[in-house]
Amino acid sequence: MKIFLDTANLDQIKEAAKMGMLDGVTTNPTLVSKEKMGFEILIKEICRIVPGPVSVECVSDKAESIVKEARQHARIADNVAVKIPICVEGLKATKVLSEEGIDVNTTLVFSASQALMAAKAGTRYVSPFVGRLDDISHQGMDLVEDVLTIFDNYGLNTEVIVASIRHPLHFVEAALMGADIATVPFAVLEKLAKHPLTDIGIERFLKDWEKVKGK
Ligand code: G3P
């Protein structure tokens, strides 16, 4: 499973790259708004550091204006994938952009029908938001399972990005289901490497090593 970092923060992106855990990055307007740099300079810098795709979100609401905005985003760097919220206008824009060879990440996906329509429109990625479904008492990961089954049924090669991941279990379940990509916030990425028994084990080894050193 590829790991994308769900952030627009350069320090976090550099840190994940050092760990060898950076297959791509996903941003959204909320994440970008937390950073101090101007939008285009920030995206350019992220794209320079990240070896894989960097999702950049469109905020226009009509197909024509989404296409225009997406083309501008795509000009920033070769590895930009444009993020488009699923809706009728977004589907129309996705068809045009995918035919032009611009990669689209269809975002804010909360149902299997939305994912299937986006795939048929030619999107490269769909992003089901699991945490936000859990927030309203739905099983977010059930959606991922349904989407994977449907894409498999029809041999669709749209990649599934499990998004709105809130904790390590989302990540592990995504991998067990065979999701293509998990996009994780930096705080979750750090948790993925941790285990209390590992910490206890390290502490014990260090204590015993002190005894060896004294001999
Ligand atoms: O990739 C989508 C993600 O940024 C949304 O996460 O935690 O705001 O639901 P969250």
Q: What is the mean pLDDT of each run of 10 residues along the chain (215 residues)?
A: 98 97 97 97 97 97 98 98 98 98 98 98 98 98 98 98 98 98 98 97 96 86
Sequence spans of domains, the chain: 2-213
Predicted model pTM: 0.96
- Give the pLDDT of residue 215: 81
Instruction: Quote the CA–CA distance of 107 and 123 in Å, as a whole number.
Output: 10
Whether 211 sits among the annotated catalytic residues: the reply is: no
Q: Are 169 and 150 in contact (CB under 8 A)?
A: no
Which atom of ligand 1 is nearest to 132's Cα? 9
Helix axes 63-76, 39-49, angle to 10 degrees: 50
Beta strands in the chain (DSSP E): 2-6, 24-26, 54-57, 80-85, 104-109, 125-128, 159-162, 181-184
**What pLDDT is recorded for position 213?**
84
Q: Whose CA is nearest to atom 6 of ligand 1?
A: 164
Does the structural domain 2-213 have CATH classification 3.20.20.70?
Answer: yes
Nearest CA to ligand 1 atom 1: 163
* Residue 132 beta carbon below 6 angstroms from any ligand 1 atom: yes
Which one of the listed residues 2, 62, 68, 83 is annotated catalytic? 83
pLDDT of amino acid 23: 98
What is the structure's pLDDT at 197? 98
Q: What pLDDT digit, counting tens, does each position of 116-168 carry?
A: 999 999 999 999 999 999 999 999 999 999 999 999 999 999 999 999 999 99
